[in-house]
Amino acid sequence: MQSLDDSQMSEVTGEGIGATFENVAIYSGNYGMPDDFKLKLQLTEGVDPDYLIFSELRFNRSGVTKDQLGGPDTGGFFGTYENPLFLGDLREITESHLATFTDGTTGYKSFTALYTGFPAADLDQNERSFFRFAEGQRTYANTFSAGGNAFSSYRDAPQGFFSNGSVNVGNYFTLADTHAAELALFEAELDQATSKFDLHMRVDSVNDSNRLLSPDEQFLSYVDLKGVRLYGTETHIWAHDNQNEAPVTSYINGEPIHATKGLAMAMTTGLRADEIILNTNLNNAAASALSLKGVDMYLPLGTVDQPLTISTVQFQQEARYTWGQNNFEPAKTQMRIEVAQLPQDVGQAAQGNIFIQSLGFGDENDEEIITGYEDIYLRERSGAVAYIASGVAHRAFVPKTVIYNEQVEIFNQNNPDNPLPYIPNQNVIEIRGLEIQRMVITTQDL
């Protein structure tokens, strides 16, 4: 790819290819069966190499039962005419960094990028921390009083919420409804762009320690993604050059602090999944499974001002086994992958967040992961107890809010004419503000 000049840029229409997919489903039988699928990845050279085998690839619409797999009407849709998968779209992108050029002028560098955008690429991540959401909604009218103390935010449920008796819930349920409505609107927009999909795959590892064993003894793990779909996922690829920008005066180990040329990429990936399951038992026994529920990951990698750049460099290294003796080999051309330092005049780097609602280790009915039993007091909007669920099991790494809502769901199924309100779930894992300050990976031809 090559940067375009102003006259060429004016001829770019921004049009590309849009694609939609309907009734998407992939099915392969179990490992070793006549209709199975295998992808072998060789890891080493030699007569008996180590390798991984990927098999049992199944991709279908969520909600399809095991008996329906491989049959008709098991697929889902991906993209619509209004919100398609964008391919080959040429777009102009402009840096926020004010560059000083060799002729003394200043300006903003622009590039022509090849754009790929998945359905719902324009959606941003929702705030899934109820505490932070409530903080953003805080006004005097949002305060409530309990025990003589005024509260304007909710780090958890109101004081005494999980105890017996009526409690002052203030505007707790009102904020919870607003938060749930925003999340539901986000999901509804995703529903218009793509179905929920389930993905299943088996991974086997073959090496010297198990080469002569049966396939079952070479097994590594199953991977299951349930109710998964992408949002906010897009990629820009362009030819990055300095466009006569004046040389950078700040260096790290003899290299400029930001890349000046190469194949540049800016990528953002958003993933929503109802559940991600890793299982190392051939029979898919629940006791051996690790489950991540309510997963929401939004991860940017590079921007127009801080791209991920792939380029080549001349790299000189010391001869192998003589490190520290200044015995250098002739310089070789190596590949470099770099996320440059963000220019100071741009501001903050793009940030990503990871939220996981709850974790599950093994079978939820296993006594070894049950931390105790407790009565759950389900409440009306007034804060009064409407029903007592007796002897409810609590599980390790599962927030009490999740346990409570599970009992609300059971109650509402049995009492559809008089449903009780759900409470907002706090996340057992929140990783916020992920960003890459600078990253350089250079290959070495040993």
Each residue's pLDDT tens digit, 327-363? 888 888 888 888 887 887 887 788 999 999 999 888 8
Q: What are phi and psi of 97, to 5 degrees?
A: -70, 125
Q: Is the dihedral of CA 356, 392, 161, 384 positive or negative?
A: positive
Alpha-carbon distance of 107 to 94, in angstroms, equals 10
**Would you state the pLDDT for residue 283?**
84
pLDDT for 221 equals 92
Q: Which of 241-245, 280-284, 376-380 reaches the highest mean pLDDT?
A: 376-380
Are 58 and 75 in contact by the 8 Å Cβ rule? The answer is no
pTM over 0.85: no
Q: How many residues does the chain have?
A: 446
Mean local confidence (pLDDT), 221-245: 92
Query: Mean pLDDT across the stretch 416-424?
Result: 94
Local confidence band at 2 (pLDDT 50, 70, 90 cut-offs): low
pLDDT for residue 253:
56
Distance between CA 163 and CA 178 in Å, rounded?
25
- Looking at mean pLDDT, say which of 404-408, 425-429, 436-440 comes out highest: 404-408
Helix (H, G, I), strand (E, B) or coil at 40: strand
pLDDT in tens, 295-335: 999 999 989 988 998 888 887 778 777 777 888 888 888 88
pLDDT the model gives residue 332? 83
Mean pLDDT (the chain) is 86
- Answer for the pair 101, 107: CB distance below 8 angstroms, yes or no: yes
Alpha helices in 205-253 (DSSP H): 215-218
Q: Is the pLDDT of residue 190 over 50?
A: yes
Of 365, 256, 258, give the one whose Cα is nearest residue 304.
Answer: 258
CA-based nearest residue to 340, from 311, 313, 305, 298: 305
DSSP structure class, residue 320: T
Residue 404's beta-bridge partner residues? none
263 neighbors 310 (Cβ within 8 angstroms): yes
- pLDDT given at position 4: 60
For the stretch 408-417, pLDDT in tens is 999 999 999 9
> In 3-state terms, the chain is what percent helix, strand and coil (to 5)?
15, 45, 45
- The DSSP bridge partners found for residue 7 are none
Contact status, residue 136 vs residue 152, Cβ threshold 8 Å:
no
The conformational region for residue 182 under phi > 0 = left, psi -120 to 50 = alpha, else beta, is alpha
Q: What is the pLDDT of residue 12?
A: 56
Per-residue model confidence (pLDDT) at position 382: 94
pLDDT of 255 strictly over 60 = no
